[in-house]
Structure 1
């Protein structure tokens, strides 16, 4: 930890990690309750319809804001005075690109089965492409100023609002449709968004629009958003393709199992979130500094991921008792996917090492390559093997992603070492 303290004092890193983990821990409990209720009340088919629509929105969502959430942290780490302009530019780009995304998502309707109503697509898109992205921007704004307590609160309130909305809906309609839930989903998101934006205005100050900085950041921000979209493709496109090429019940079963994988990774993501500003500080020494920083953080999350793998595998038979007998096949799906937390933990840290050192472009290219492989494999394997094929494709692509990141980091590290040796030799000759 002494190496880490060069960029972020140990007490601050522990405090930030604690706040993020506390917030994500509460979020984990809330999401678990939310997941059980929505899966049981909607049933596999309606739940599958909702999951398929959310997956499409997740692919387009990263382009909303064009990476300005990440740039707020990068800019403020380098100069705290840049917060006002970064916050203002982020708001402007997020709103404009969110409206464009809402218009664009209509062209994605052909990806969904005809049985899914248009209204679900529009309601979920309004929530996830505009309101949800504004809420995320607020969380990143507090994170940039290292006020992770507020970041944790926003994350908790986002999940809590949806849980409360779901409980109210289920108390009125015992088995609501996916369309009825989408209405409540939008309303709950809107409440949290208004509160989050108000909190940033009141606590951190008013935004300002800086057009020169806006033009300068747009290209770099595009790399962040493109990379995140590619990540969403290899994480979520299988659910949409499963709904289109398979059936909604299989999508619901697979989506339920994958949801548990996402939830199990919350503690790992907490460490990543708290360490993200320090990643940019470490990256100022080049790729070697970024790698050393991430190596110091990696062992404990990897150990935790191993525990998750065995827990998911051995406790999978409990799933139908919690969600209902309709989800019996989710036991096998969860066991197939149980290795994902281990693979994802590695490539999460490797990816942030590239970003912190300024190689977001390389990270994005690797993500696009894996996303393309995922889509091509799914086109063949899902019609033949349904959700089992989707699970095999996910495992293979996450493993490929981790391997490609290792190759990229090793290559860049060797290049930096050779450059340093040449500089040292020139200085010695001089």
Structure 2
């Protein structure tokens, strides 16, 4: 019991508090940016960020997750692990940025739109990935209190940028893109400097980096698929509805998604413990840890869902009457955190026990399913089609992950 309390105090609690702080900052940032830009400009930003969110896991090619696994299982070459991951992140992030810009150029060669896309790509695919890699160093060392402060710093700097927009009455997507990249760049600089003191520098071993990429790419595939089935609706919705509808949907979805912050923090805190359990006892032990977490997650998701449904009518008072549609959308999405957490817990159990390939294949199938469902359902049911697709994909993932765990532990 004392050991569990110590783990909660030193790992879970700092992450939950940090994630709650981040959620609060991101929530206020979302409200400020949405109110300042208005649904049209905010909808433009949402489409770009949906694409960068889907591609972000490929920046680094899973080397950050491999670093956590190796550190949790006793690897001592921390400088090499950090250097390899940063190098992989910089190279892959640059390639992804070029690909996104090429795609946007073919779709819409408006120079202003391309500049917005470039700024967000650098901010997310390079700067945010550098912060993420630095966080993973401390996840692997079970120093979650430090890792949680990184996200708070990053969110704080971007929130300051949002406040600057509000104070100066800057109302375009380009203005927010500039504020976003400045905040992200400063955060990456401070956080990498601090991490280098812990790793005592960096070194790069390209043969070892290639080996890590071969295994880590399954993490990237899974997380990229996750980005698709979480955010593809924001990219497809503008094809059939106005940018204002997409802005209202995005605002509601982000607020509901942020309600999962304590659950996400709990899974992050359990990550190193799961990797150690998977290395010594296999899937049966990681599944046991995940099932215990799921009990708490379902209870939390139910309580929060009721609160979201009850408090949704207050949203237009916070971000303006133009977001009246967001009330119905929030109520429709209120209980999405329940299947989302169940599938995330089972997914982590599989990954920690070296079943990344099986997990990734299911996630890729879910991503394809999300694209198809959103194209079909949004055409007929507008934003409600996106809601239906979100629930369908999360429930499919939860059932599929549970079935794989059951089959492999029989």
Q: TM class, shorter-chain normalised?
A: over 0.9
Q: Which residue of 2 aligns with 1:422?
A: none
Q: Which residue of 2 aligns with 1:343?
A: 339
Write the distance in 2 (CA, Å) between the matches of 1:75 and 1:249. 46
Measured at CA, do residues 111 and 22 of structure 1 come closer, stay the same or move farther in structure 2, by a change above 3 Å? farther
Is residue 330 of structure 1 aligned with residue 298 of structure 2?
no
The 3 A distance-change label for structure 1 pair 355 and 343 is same
2:154 alignment partner, one of 139, 155, 158: 158
- Conserved in 2, the CA contact under 8 Å of 1:282 and 1:293? no
How big is the alpha-carbon RMSD for the aligned residues of Structure 1 and Structure 2? 1.7
Q: Which runs of 4+ in 1 moved over 3 A?
A: 110-116
How many angstroms does 1:159 deviate by? 0.6
Deviations 1:368-400 (A, max 9, x none): 001101101111121222211111111111111
Q: Deviations over 1:326-375 (max 9, x none)?
A: 11111111111112111111111010010111101111000000110110
Report the CA distance shift for 1:111/1:339 in structure 2 as closer, same or farther (over 3 A): farther
2:82 corresponds to:
87
The SS at the match of 2:90 is helix
Aligned residue number for residue 166 of structure 2: 170
| SS of equivalent residue, structure 1 residue 81 | coil
For residues 130-167 of structure 1, the C-alpha deviation after alignment (integer angstroms, 9 at most, x for no partner) is 11101111111122112222211101011100111111
Contact 1:233 1:371 in 2 (8 A): yes
Instruction: Give how far 1:114 is off.
Output: 7.7
- Correspondent of 2:25 among 20, 30, 43: 30
Number of aligned residue pairs: give it.
408
Gaps of 5+ in 1: 415-430
CA contact (8 A) 2:161 2:183 kept: yes
Q: Counterpart of 2:258?
A: 263
Quote how far apart the aligned CAs of 1:204 are: 2.8
CA displacement, residues 82-124 of structure 1 (integer Å, 9 cap, x when unaligned): 3222111101101111111111112432797788811111110
TM-score (norm 1): 0.91
Given the two structures, how large is their TM-score scaled by the length of structure 2?
0.96
- Corresponding residue for residue 41 of structure 2: 46
SS in 1 for 2:61: coil
CA shift for structure 1 position 194: 0.3
In the aligned structure 1, how far is the partner of 2:105 from the partner of 2:353?
Answer: 40
Deviation of the 1:12 alpha carbon: 2.8
Q: Map 1:389-400; keep pairs closer than 5 Å.
A: 389-400=385-396
Per the alignment, residue 412 of structure 1 pairs with 408
Whole-Å separation in 2 of the counterparts to 1:338 and 1:35? 18
Matches within 5 A, 1:203-352: 203-284=198-279, 285-352=281-348
Q: Which runs of 5+ in 2 are unaligned?
A: none
Q: Give the SS at the match of 2:382.
A: helix
